[in-house]
Amino acid sequence: MRPQLRAGFIGLGSQGAPMARRIVEGGLPLMLWARRPAALESFADTPATVASTPAELAAASDVIGLCVRDDSDINEVTAGDDGVLAGVAPGAIIAVHSTVHPNTVRTLAEAAALRGAFVIDAPVSGGQPAAAAGRLLVMAGGDAEHVERARPVLASYGSPVVHLGPLGAGQVTKLLNNTLFTAHLAVGASLLRLGRDLGVDPAGLAEVIASGSGESFALARVADAGGTLDRIGAHAGPLLAKDVRLAVAVAEAAGLAGVGTEAVVAAADAALAMMSVAR
């Protein structure tokens, strides 16, 4: 039998904290590091231990989860004398849960390989409620063997955990998903406004569509937010703009910009404009 995996986790925000709690509640040894000591307070009642640096955490972990905000944060916690790469042990796996450019995880993998370690990209979808319930959708990219080795950790907070292809495939999938979601927000908000202008109660319209062939997760979110994108924009607008921008950049780098993407990108841009957020 293989020894029990030791997990490390960095990024205890609104989504990362419940992910980390699911790991420790699943019985896996867990070490944490946080830039803000206050983020660790909610784990005081758990067996989780705390590292003084990301390097210390990496040295003691077989699977290291990173759930920080963006590409620059990934670089901040992995580079330098105290970073993850300085301490990561041969054979360890770094799982990047942040939504970042695919090249960010590929560059990280090249640096990790010099230490004999591996990287998988495993962005997630579902938010805090799904994380707390262990129902996050995990979109994994990387070597199939590495994904399977990390699966006991991933499965503690994720169901399903879907392996999508080589390193970077998880990030591409998440970016495309978020671009489509953003586009759907524009369509949903416009539809509710059209229904209202035609004399249909927007809340009733949303309820009917939720039970019909036009069912839409995005439209339901718009309805919950009062029929406009103002509230969603204030909460998630900048992150959605980042993801749409990255998706377009990835398509352009592959020479695929404008190849069947015009409609979805235009709708996504319309949603960002409604939220007063620029891509």
**Active-site positions?**
174
Which backbone phi and psi does 168 adopt, to 5 degrees? 100, -20
Q: Which two tokens stand for residue 68?
A: 């920080």
Cross-strand bridge partners of residue 32? 9, 50
Which backbone phi and psi does 73 adopt, to 5 degrees? -70, -40
**What residues contact residue 174 under an 8 Å CB cut-off, 6+ apart?**
99, 123, 125, 139, 243
Which single residue is written with the structure tokens 């925000």? 13
How would you class 10 by CB atoms within 10 Å of its CB: exposed for 0-12, middle for 13-18, buried for 19 or more? buried
Cross-strand bridge partners of residue 10? 33, 66
Cross-strand bridge partners of residue 33? 10
Q: Which two tokens stand for residue 154?
A: 């991933």
Q: Which two tokens stand for residue 237?
A: 């607008």
Q: Which two tokens stand for residue 197?
A: 């202008």
Q: Which two tokens stand for residue 238?
A: 């900048």
